[in-house]
Amino acid sequence: LSDNGTDKTLQVFSGKGVDGADFSAKTDLQVGQTVVVKGNLKSFTNKQGQTIMEMDKGSKIITINNSVTPTPQPTTSALEAKFDTGMDNFTINNITIPSDLTFVWKHDANKKYMKASSFKSNVNYAAQSRLESPTFSLTGRTSATLTFQVAANYFTTAADNFKVQVSTNGTTWHDVPVSTYPAKDWKFVTSTCDLSAYAGQSNVRIGFLYTCDGTNAAGTWEIKNIEVK
């Protein structure tokens, strides 16, 4: 409680709750609630020499507004990438790539998306490459969701060939569940990933990891319209 906006602490001595009821737990009052107290206001000096404002014995709470106002969430996007004209500050980390391939991920300027494949000249090459976002901040948020559009074909097992990952240091990456994988039909679907575990952190990156072991089909993946909000 505070005494009408000053920076002093207001103590309620031997007070009662609403309608004179006893308090049942510490959680009866919470930060953010508006509390109206009726009683005599006085001040005294404690052993540390501090002046404390206090509602005297016999005070009573008149009302408690139980609707604690939630912390406003930012309405702007933390990250956006459409890939209309380029890679939108994303970078490519070729973790394992054979000499026969010059790339796995590549921007398609005509179709305006990022595309990944390790298939060349009728050969499925073993390769692993991650498309990595620039660093973005989730400070001030209690939740966050990644949304993107993805299409694909020729893969054997979608979740093995294509993963979404998150890093907070650019070195260690963690897989996050993907809500929807596309069918093998080149049709874009909208998919999401819950990033709430990283809410409040200021140094976040997302990565799209392409993996092919060389024995199974080297799927082709296309992504666009990435947003974290």
**CATH number for 91:** 2.60.120.200
The predicted pLDDT at position 166 comes to 98
Domain annotation covers residue 5: no
Q: Rounded mean pLDDT of 178-187?
A: 98
In a domain, 25, yes or no: yes
Residue 90 lies in a domain: yes
Asked whether residue 86 is assigned to any structural domain, the reply reads yes
Residue 14: domain span? 10-65
60 and 88 co-located in one domain = no
The answer on 101 and 171 residing in a single domain is yes
Flag whether 74 is in a domain: no
- Proportion of the chain above pLDDT 70, given as a percent: 83
Q: Which of 5-9, 45-49, 101-105, 109-113 has the lowest mean pLDDT?
A: 5-9
What is residue 24's predicted lDDT score, i.e. its pLDDT?
63
Give the total number of structural domains in the chain: 2
**Mean per-residue pLDDT, 49-63:** 73
Taking residues 17-40, report their average pLDDT: 70
- Tell me the mean pLDDT in the region 217-223: 95
Distance CA 50, CA 44 (A): 8
Which tens digit of pLDDT belongs to each residue from 64-108? 776 555 667 788 999 999 999 999 999 999 999 999 999 999 999
161 and 224 both lie in a single domain: yes
Question: Is residue 182 a part of any domain in this protein?
Answer: yes
**Poorest-confidence range of 50-59, 89-98, 191-200, 218-227?**
50-59
Within-domain flag for 4? no
* pLDDT number for residue 4: 45
Residues 101, 183 within the same domain? yes
Higher pLDDT, 52 or 191: 191
Same-domain pairing of 111 and 161: yes
Are 138 and 203 part of one and the same domain?
Answer: yes
35 and 144 in a common domain:
no
Q: Are residues 59 and 84 in the same domain?
A: no
